[in-house]
């Protein structure tokens, strides 16, 4: 079944991206563009994602940083 007819994204693709760690409609959009055109599929994507286990959401619920593994770019003054 198609979830996003604008980009031809199926329910199986959304579930696969969720299994790979996408926890929010925005993360699904980054993975496959679903929800970025007309937006009519965003509620369906939210329903598919549900409130299941998500490593980033679990960290946020615990009050821990969720982007700790992101390396900040070097500052220009440090590069000189």
> What is the reported pLDDT for 79?
52
* pLDDT one-digit tens code per residue, 30-75: 999 999 999 999 999 999 988 666 666 666 677 776 555 544 445 5
SS3 assignment for 2-67: EEECCCCEEHHHHHHHHHCCCCCHHHHHHHHCCCCCCCCCHHHHHHHHCCCCCHHHHHHHCCCCCC
Task: Convert the pLDDT of each residue in 3-26 to its tens digit.
Answer: 999 999 999 999 999 888 888 899
């Amino acid at each position: 079944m198609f979830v996003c007819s604008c980009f031809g994204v199926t329910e199986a693709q959304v579930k696969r991206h969720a299994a790979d760690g996408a926890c929010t409609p925005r993360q699904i959009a980054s993975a496959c563009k679903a929800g970025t055109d007309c937006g009519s599929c965003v509620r369906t994507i939210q329903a598919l994602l549900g409130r299941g286990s998500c490593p980033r959401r679990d960290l946020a619920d615990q009050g821990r940083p969720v982007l700790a593994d992101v390396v900040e770019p070097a500052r220009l003054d440090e590069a000189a």
